[in-house]
Chains A and B, each alone.
Chain A
Amino acid sequence: MDYVLELQDVSKTYGHGRTAVKANDRVNLQIQPGEIVLIMGPSGSGKTTLLSMAGLLLSTSSGIICVLGEQIDHASASHRAHMRLKTLGFVFQSYNLMESLTAIENVELVMNMAGVRGSRAKERARELLAMLGLGERLDHKPADLSGGEKQRVAIARALANDPPLILADEPTGNLDSKTGQEVMELLCCGLGRDQGRSIVIVTHDHRLRSIADRVLWLEDGQLSETDGNYLPEMT
């Protein structure tokens, strides 16, 4: 069976010699289609490094990364960019929207980058934003949107090219608990699992355990399965 994402013995070391720091140590991870996986762990445990490698933003020191069955860890920068555009969706803690573009234009942008233009892109962006409850806020710029609204625009942008895998880094980090819960339910249930899309979420937020199929614990660069009911201290 092809996993959406597979990491085999992936390690990442920063620096050399005596100053070397191992952020991830022989990590193995398989994500199935439609699966929602939470990666938790204390600060500095290597969560962001792991997500960056999974998101093809950071090269590995060793190990293999496959996306949709294709080994990608040694691919060229342009091929990895193409893979990020077509097969991955990103949701960030600080939204990272283009401040000069409206909500709908932010969503259209990634479709334009993938070659989808004109009314087709506009219609899809409008539809996604409407599904996320932003039908009335299409022409607002990020500065005029609340944190929850911005994150929903970011989710719409992540879904715009219909990727099979979404990678989310602390998506509720800047949201209050109620808004965070709403946003994640929208992402994971309505637009994620129900559409066969896999989602990997790196978070400190314990409340997200309820929407995940699996919870993984990362500490000292090593990943382990947990049942989600008991988690070590996050600090």
Chain B
Amino acid sequence: MFKLAWRNLLHERARLIISVGGVALAVMLILLMAGIFAGSEEHAVAYIKRQPADLWLMQDGVENLHMSSSLLPPQVVEDVRGIAGVYQAVGLLYSTGAVDLGETEVYSYIFAVEKGAPFGGPWDLMEGAGSPGIDEVILDSDLAARYGLGLGDTVDLLGKQLRIAGLSEGTFGIATSITFVNKQTLAGLMGVPPDAASYVLIRPESDADRVQVADRLKEAIPEANLMTREAFVASDQEMIRQMGADVIRAMNSVAYVVGLLVIALTVYTATVERAREYGVLKAIGADTALLMRVVAAQAFISSGFGFLVGIPLAYGIGALITTLLPEMLIVIEPDNLLGQVPVLLAITAAASLLPLGRIIRLDPMTVFKG
């Protein structure tokens, strides 16, 4: 029966193209939406991932960078540096706020470390200074270029005019950017002492046992929370997923419904148009189960091809979007691809059921109508 299903599809190529195209479109939409979400998630944890700090110290009760407020006492950074096995420790001040670019405002994650800190600044500097001085800022290069800004221009951040001292790359997301400022400047804007830190980024000595260092840190500073980089990233990703889960679920549902409707309608139309042929099959001895297998085979072939076409389409369109809009980081993960397979199988099976009533009611007597 597979051959009949296959030939039926090939016999109506226009319908096959519409069917495969519809499924491919739905698959592409699902993958792109998930990719955009994964991209924004990646952007949100980019700073944590890009810093060479294996351990992060933060205020007790805090487990995230985003949507939380952490402030550690000023002497904590020095305390950490005194712990055996700690190679480097950098005090980080973190805030969020809108960067006023003249034409528009862009929400920004704002990071500040002491001038001359071994890390904590931009990881991919395109132009200018890598460590901003007083009243200076490092902006994303794509963001600056979009609004005609360059080195020496000024932007307003948290109500203060700052001069652009450097331009970084990979620091512009869909709705947010990553901005680096001088720690003293940010401390002034936040109203905290200049040596205060929201987090302490800790790099153990290369030959030190990370677990032992962590234990020592917990013992020496029990009033703070210590997390590994991996745990900190996972915690932020989980929070972002929870925040966006409803939105992404709604968007995916729309794409799934589009896919379901396309498959269902094409399968149903194909069945209706071939009703006479199915009637003939019924007349010459096919039972309903066999006819359903033909219909289901057509649906699964269409959605299988749609899936295969949808994947490169998603990658291609994703690459095009990223080229045109650098802030749109789209991450299509293999796990996500595989995750769509059972969903697609389920909606294809559901679509196959739509013509079931039609098949059952088929009157084999149609064969006698000349």
Q: Which A residues have a C-beta under 8 Å from some C-beta of B?
A: 48, 51-52, 55, 57-58, 77-78, 81-86, 88, 90, 92-94, 96, 98-101, 105, 109-110, 112-114, 157, 169-170, 173-174
Q: Which of B314-322, B348-356, B361-369 contacts A (4 or more CB under 8 A)?
A: B361-369
Q: How far is the CA of A36 from the CA of B354 in the complex (A)?
A: 44
Given A96-B280, A101-B7, A109-B4: A57 in contact with B286 (beta carbons within 8 A): no
B286 → chain A closest CB, angstroms: 6
- Name B283's contact: one of A57, A93, A94 (CB within 8 Å): A57
- Docked-complex contact A113 and B286, CB < 8 angstroms: yes
Question: Which of chain B's residues have a CB closer than 8 A to the CB of A169?
Answer: 367-368
Question: Which of chain A's residues have a CB closer than 8 A to the CB of B11?
Answer: 99-100
B183 at the binding interface (Cβ < 8 Å): no
- Docked-complex contact B4 and A81, CB < 8 angstroms: no
Q: How far is the CA of A113 from the CA of B7 in the complex (A)?
A: 16
- Per-residue CB contact flags for chain B residues 42-65 toward chain A (1 = under 8 Å, else 0) read 000000000000000000000000
Interface size (B, Cβ < 8 Å)? 24
- Docked-complex contact B370 and A174, CB < 8 angstroms: yes
B277 at the binding interface (Cβ < 8 Å): yes
- Docked-complex contact B370 and A78, CB < 8 angstroms: no
- Docked-complex contact A52 and B285, CB < 8 angstroms: no
Q: How far is the CA of A105 from the CA of B363 in the complex (A)?
A: 24
Q: How far is the CA of A109 from the CA of B1 in the complex (A)?
A: 8
- Docked-complex contact B4 and A90, CB < 8 angstroms: no
- Docked-complex contact A110 and B285, CB < 8 angstroms: yes
Question: Which of chain B's residues have a CB closer than 8 A to the CB of A100?
Answer: 4, 7-8, 10-11
- Docked-complex contact B370 and A90, CB < 8 angstroms: no
- Docked-complex contact A157 and B368, CB < 8 angstroms: no
- Name A84's contact: one of B7, B8, B277, B283 (CB within 8 Å): B283
Q: How far is the CA of A94 from the CA of B282 in the complex (A)?
A: 16
Question: Which of chain A's residues have a CB closer than 8 A to the CB of B4?
Answer: 98, 100-101, 109
- Name B365's contact: one of A52, A99, A113, A173 (CB within 8 Å): A52
Given A100-B7, A100-B10, A100-B11: A85 in contact with B365 (beta carbons within 8 A): no
B14 at the binding interface (Cβ < 8 Å): no
Question: Which of chain A's residues have a CB closer than 8 A to the CB of B276?
Answer: 96
Q: How far is the CA of A84 from the CA of B285 in the complex (A)?
A: 5
- Docked-complex contact B282 and A81, CB < 8 angstroms: yes
Q: How far is the CA of A120 from the CA of B10 in the complex (A)?
A: 26
Q: How far is the CA of A52 from the CA of B286 in the complex (A)?
A: 16
Question: Which of chain B's residues have a CB closer than 8 A to the CB of A93?
Answer: 368, 370
Which of B11, B281, B367 has the largest count of A CB atoms less than 10 A from its CB?
B367
Q: How far is the CA of A174 from the CA of B369 in the complex (A)?
A: 13
B324 at the binding interface (Cβ < 8 Å): no
- Docked-complex contact A96 and B367, CB < 8 angstroms: yes
Question: Which of chain A's residues have a CB closer than 8 A to the CB of B286?
Answer: 81, 85, 113
Question: Which of chain A's residues have a CB closer than 8 A to the CB of B282?
Answer: 81
Q: Which B residues have a C-beta under 8 Å from some C-beta of A?
A: 1, 3-4, 7-8, 10-11, 276-277, 280-287, 290, 364-365, 367-370
Question: Which of chain B's residues have a CB closer than 8 A to the CB of A84?
Answer: 283-285
Q: Find the B residue at minimum CB distance from A78.
A: B287
Task: In the A-B complex, list the 7 residue pairs whose CB atoms are closest, starting with the nearest.
Answer: A85-B285, A100-B11, A100-B7, A84-B285, A96-B280, A81-B287, A100-B8
Q: How far is the CA of A16 from the CA of B302 in the complex (A)?
A: 45
Given A55-B283, A86-B285, A100-B11: A105 in contact with B370 (beta carbons within 8 A): no
Given A99-B11, A100-B7: A173 in contact with B285 (beta carbons within 8 A): no
Question: Which of chain B's residues have a CB closer than 8 A to the CB of A48?
Answer: 368
Q: Find the A residue at minimum CB distance from B287.
A: A81
Q: How far is the CA of A101 from the CA of B6 in the complex (A)?
A: 10
A148 → chain B closest CB, angstroms: 16
Question: Which of chain B's residues have a CB closer than 8 A to the CB of A52?
Answer: 365, 368
Question: Which of chain A's residues have a CB closer than 8 A to the CB of B290?
Answer: 113
In the complex, 16 of the A-B residue pairs with CB atoms within 8 angstroms, ordered by the A residue number, are A52-B365, A58-B365, A78-B287, A81-B282, A81-B287, A83-B285, A85-B285, A90-B283, A90-B367, A92-B280, A92-B368, A98-B4, A98-B280, A99-B277, A113-B285, A170-B370
A192 → chain B closest CB, angstroms: 18
- Docked-complex contact B284 and A110, CB < 8 angstroms: yes
- Docked-complex contact A114 and B285, CB < 8 angstroms: yes
Q: How far is the CA of A145 from the CA of B8 in the complex (A)?
A: 18
Q: How far is the CA of A117 from the CA of B151 in the complex (A)?
A: 76
A85 → chain B closest CB, angstroms: 3
- Name B284's contact: one of A77, A90, A170, A173 (CB within 8 Å): A90
B275 → chain A closest CB, angstroms: 12
- Name B368's contact: one of A51, A78, A112 (CB within 8 Å): A51
- Docked-complex contact A105 and B3, CB < 8 angstroms: yes
Q: How far is the CA of A109 from the CA of B10 in the complex (A)?
A: 17
A81 → chain B closest CB, angstroms: 5
Question: Which of chain A's residues have a CB closer than 8 A to the CB of B369?
Answer: 94
B364 → chain A closest CB, angstroms: 5
B367 → chain A closest CB, angstroms: 5
